[in-house]
Structure 1
């Protein structure tokens, strides 16, 4: 079945595509009439409440809230209410090792396992409002413990399993986690990755209780036929659902806080409208659960809709390039959601795609970084076979769910454009004077109030940092963008000191701080350079007081933050371009990497550094 047809600028839904769409035909028109009532209506009719709300939206100078007098439970909405269809698979777990059998966990089985995990957390002393750190690979127990936290009213803080012991320790200490849930190992590229060793190092000297899951028993840890039922904790809509640490421009990762009510509503609605999810549909989001994408579209979004989520442990191209297509075919995946970086890997020597029809696919999605036109067209033709809409989703850890994307039943689907803001949410582009930009005029992307339900509610232990998210009446996305005459947005990239590597946000300051901690280093500047596979790669400019090897610097970054943050290249320089106020001019370094002529150096205190760095780059 074909869901899209060619149009002037891209593609639009066919009759079948509109019929398949889960968003109402008049959704944009209706949502613009009254955005608050739009969200309140969905919340009343499609979310289960323990105590129905009366207040819809309220906003003060430094805060806003949704449904603040209502009570609900995120786990109940994701699990208990679907028990009528108890035998439908909730999770399909696929180990990286093809000799291991996949595991299907029904809603009934998941319900039992989550109750057993909830009881275990309580036994460890976890209470409502406590923080539980989760440092696990993508195995069923990771989702089980996320749901268990939500069930008992604790907030989880999930840490990407590839992060270093130092990164894990910082998140445990900053969050004040009471318990750490982890696994002993996992597989990646056929290798056994030792998590226990990293955990021991991270937790040395810390008073924290641990729950260690044996990877050998992944998906089979909790087996009780009749576990004790732990009743879902009634949560105020504005109570903390979870913390997720993300890169900050000051170097130290910041704990982004999300509220139960708004997050539940928007995770549910966005998964339904953007990926056409409903009971029985199968979604595979390839993002790790340590990222917000994994939270919303691997765990909560599919389960809130009674759908099936696919969970894969390892590398998408292991042991062969076509592994991801085998998974799609064997598990009849309907919605496939991945990053442009992964697509660029898939596109290398792509003759293997010809033997796969991918008939089960209905929606393709991209996330993490803007997708270039060439990669978009490859995805559309080679994977979607020219049948499926591509939803190029724009969002952030801070927004909790996708906020700009073309809906499958509406379109349009234009290569390199994210599309229109999600119904009920208003984004615009402002210029330097904070005035609304004209169509095609580049500027800063901002969200207008009333703010989206799942938007960030705070930065953990840092009210001052939270306030910096807002400029005037707007939420500042810190991305540059423009929109066309039809209101479709194109995202151009970060406007601050954040770079994206393989779809993952990296703080330039955080990497710089690690390099500068080395005794032989005076200072470092990090910039991103365009890369055909990763989208962006990390480049370091380093000034030293005595010789140090490039290998040593790369090793230190891998150790302190993780391999994904390590520089692809280190340039040793005499000086780094700075303004008279001492600000590093990363923009100039980026321009030099791109081969641009830097003409205006009048604002620099050390203009001679530009010529010297240019010579060093050319020599290398």
Structure 2
């Protein structure tokens, strides 16, 4: 308990000794799920448990088989069933008399406000679905979506789902080159984008940037007008979004889709330079996100205002801004801007304005708010909040406690959620009406999910650190990598046999069955919850004409969780300077996006390599973080490490590292 006169810092330090935080009694008494026996019931019949969750949706045709696992790792869920995601997110709510319910309180970064009801979405989705059909989009075609956090992004995704088109959303922070790359990989026929996107008072010319690289890759570009910036429009190919909607027919019946028909592709970073096209299907995915959104966030649709402060361009936005909340008939907040514009209290102003009761955000944002100070949330009435969530990366206990005390007032359970683009939905967390929270721990696998921590041989390691695995299929799981079945098997299923999913994270499980996520085991960097492959960033750096070679690692960073450090070897006898550092960072920004820029660049005459030529990134991580080096006997030239240590000492002495 806090003592009078203690500073916030002292109170948090004292709270660090408290290992468990049970839900408040009044929360538990009214929780959507408060009976711990749900874990045992789901374990006793996990297929029956998932069938029970699927029954919460509207099906055109009931399934014959809950799970077909006859050809692992290629799972099929709700075999023979037919449904439409758009219908489940819109039509059934309108038909039930809830058309006037607000689906999204949209807030623009300059303070604009718009309430979009379920009836509004239903109207615009039908019209855009017809417009897409008018420009030649058919069931099974891929539509690329490159939009900021505006209502049209939800309309576009749901319109694709309505007619059976597969959407491929590209995060708005990616560069035009990355958009082009994803369009090529997915073979998209249509791109839906925007003339200009706003960020912190500036407008980026999105359409002009796309035009510079897109060529003839797509048949049609649909442009949402946001900036009135005279975006170039190519006759016959380019169409204004609002004009297409005006010309389109009003009604578009939802296409009945097989449960295993693709819903979307979302590209995520892998351990090679080529992103992986995660493919999610219809029935299992919607079942998974609707259930987890309802259960994990203790959702009461008639009472709650829910805000997931992520971006639709990532899977968090797909699952917990669009599909989960809409399937459950929730009222959400959608915010266009940054957490510190126009001032550092904008989030808390929004919470107060819309009486947000559930807030879901990334630890990176919480750490930033901590740094800015409690004075900003203290300006606002946050008493509407009753549950808090985190997503994207492990949250350190100090940040967890600040979130719990300063934002939640010590009254809000926190659900720290672990999951991936590949899993589609939350896998591990603390059910808030059932379990106590442990700051820093993701919690326990949800009912219906089975996870284990194993060694190299696939044997359970008890409470030791090992590989995190998922040991049976789940409905929202990815079905494959788009047009890369072999890569799908090799990446996720080869190591421990084709019925055990290799997560790619190291973890440990404590004596209470709570999982603690340690970090990635492959060459993937997690910057502010955004996963980037080291190979992808290295390729961008090496594309600079003065760079001969590069090795990228993730380095612990108090603001972003991990930051990118690049060891760079230059061509010939060239020497690095601050100007070249800036040029390389901008090269990465242009090819991937600003968020991928290395925070630290270290010039290296050579890189530590094995005799077979493989770069030893483990040693680079050790040297960058000042740890004692491990075995260097396998290096082709062990002296390289001594030279690099000298370079790092030089930079640290200059204060430029």
CA contact (8 A) 1:169 1:203 kept: yes
Indicate yes or no: 2:534 matched with 1:524. Answer: no
- Structure 1's 221 and 265: CA in aligned 2 closer, same or farther, altered over 3 A? farther
Q: What SS does the corresponding residue of 2:483 show, helix, strand or coil?
A: coil
Contact 1:135 1:161 in 2 (8 A): yes
Query: What SS does the corresponding residue of 1:444 show, helix, strand or coil?
Result: strand
Q: Which residue of 2 aligns with 1:257?
A: 279
For residue 140 of structure 1, report the CA deviation from its aligned partner.
Answer: 0.2
Pick from 112, 124, 134: which aligns with 1:123?
Answer: 134
* Deviations 1:240-268, CA, capped at 9 Å, x for gaps: 01000000111111110001011100010
State whether residues 21 and 273 of structure 1, in contact with CA within 8 Å, keep that contact through their aligned partners in structure 2: no
Match of 1:410 in 2: 434
Question: How does 1:151-230 map onto structure 2 within 5 Å?
Answer: 151-215=162-226, 228-230=250-252
Cα distance in 2 for residues equivalent to 1:431 and 1:176: 39
* Helix, strand or coil at the partner of 2:526: strand
> 1:122-144: CA deviations, max 9, x gaps?
11111111100000001000000
Please report how far the alpha carbon of residue 181 of structure 1 lies from its aligned counterpart in structure 2 after TM superposition.
Answer: 0.5
Q: Is 1:82 the counterpart of 2:82 in the alignment? A: no
1:328-477 pair list within 5 angstroms: 328-347=351-370, 348-439=372-463, 441-449=464-472, 451-468=473-490, 469-470=492-493, 471=495, 472=497, 473-477=499-503
Among 135, 145, 157, the residue aligned to 1:146: 157
- Residue by residue over 1:2-22, the C-alpha shift from the partner in whole angstroms, topping out at 9 and shown as x without a partner, is xxx999632112332223322
Where do 5+ consecutive residues of structure 1 fail to align? none
Give the corresponding residue for 2:8: none
Describe the shift of the 1:553–1:265 C-alpha distance in structure 2 as closer, same or farther (beyond 3 A).
same
Describe the shift of the 1:385–1:604 C-alpha distance in structure 2 as closer, same or farther (beyond 3 A): same
**Residue 30 of structure 2 corresponds to which residue in structure 1?**
20
**C-alpha deviation, 1:209, in angstroms:** 0.3
Structure 2 CA distance for aligned equivalents of residues 326 and 603 of structure 1: 56
SS at match of 1:32: helix
* Change in CA separation of 1:499 and 1:517 when aligned onto 2, cut-off 3 Å: same
Q: What is the deviation of 1:168?
A: 0.4
Structure 1 position 229, deviation (Å): 1.3
| Structure 1 residue 360 displacement after superposition | 1.2
Deviations 1:427-483 (A, max 9, x none): 1100122101112x000000011x111111010121111002113131010000011
- Structure 2: gaps spanning 5 or more residues: 1-14, 229-239, 652-657
User: What CA deviation, in whole Å up to 9, does each residue of 1:85-124 have, x standing for no partner?
Assistant: 11110111100002x3x00011111111111111111111
* Deviation of the 1:324 alpha carbon: 0.2
TM superposition score normalised by structure 1: 0.96
1:52 and 2:62 aligned: yes
Q: Distance in 2 between matches of 1:278 and 1:130?
A: 36
Pick one of 141, 144, 156 that aligns with 1:133: 144
5 Å matches for 1:59-74? 59=69, 60-74=71-85
Correspondence for 1:309: 332
Q: Distance in 1 between matches of 2:593 and 2:246?
A: 37
Residues 140 and 219, structure 1, Cα contact 8 Å, conserved in 2: no
Are the equivalent residues in 2 in contact too, given 1:6–1:12 (CA < 8 A)?
no
Equivalent in the alignment of 1:538? 564
Note the C-alpha offset of 1:516. 1.9
Change (3 A) 1:48 1:7: farther
Q: Is the 8 A contact 2:224 2:241 kept in 1?
A: no
Change (3 A) 1:222 1:519: closer
Return the match for 1:500 from 518, 526, 530.
Answer: 526
Q: Which moved more, 1:399-408 or 1:23-32?
A: 23-32
d(CA) in 2 for partners of 1:216 and 1:598?
53
| Aligned match for 1:597, one of 628, 639, 642 | 628
Pick one of 649, 653, 656 that aligns with 1:618: 649
Aligned length: 611
Q: Secondary structure at the match of 1:320?
A: coil
SS in structure 2 of the partner of residue 567 of structure 1: coil
Note closer, same or farther for the CA distance 1:143–1:353 as it changes in structure 2 (3 Å cut): same
Corresponding residue for 1:327?
A: 350
Q: Distance in 1 between matches of 2:290 and 2:218?
A: 37
1:110 aligns to 2:153 (yes or no): no
Cα RMSD, aligned residues only: 1.9
Q: Deviations over 1:154-189 (max 9, x none)?
A: 110000112111100011111111110011112111
- Where 2:347 maps in the other structure, the secondary structure is helix
Q: Secondary structure at the match of 1:428?
A: strand
Rounded Cα–Cα distance in structure 2 between residues aligned with 1:219 and 1:371: 40
CA distance change for structure 1 residues 216 and 89 in 2, over 3 Å: closer, same or farther? farther
Contact kept in structure 2, 1:335 and 1:363, CA below 8 Å: yes
**CA displacement at 1:371 relative to structure 2:** 0.3
Partners of 1:278 and 1:148 in 2: how far apart? Answer: 26
Compared with structure 1, are the counterparts of its residues 613 and 7 closer, same or farther at alpha carbon in structure 2 (3 Å cutoff)?
Answer: closer
Instruction: Give the aligned partner of residue 514 of structure 1.
Output: 540
TM-score under structure 2 normalisation? 0.90
| Structure 2 match to 1:580 | 611
- Is the contact between residue 190 and residue 218 of structure 2 (CA under 8 Å) also seen in structure 1? no
How far apart, in 1, do the equivalents of 2:516 and 2:172 lie? Answer: 32
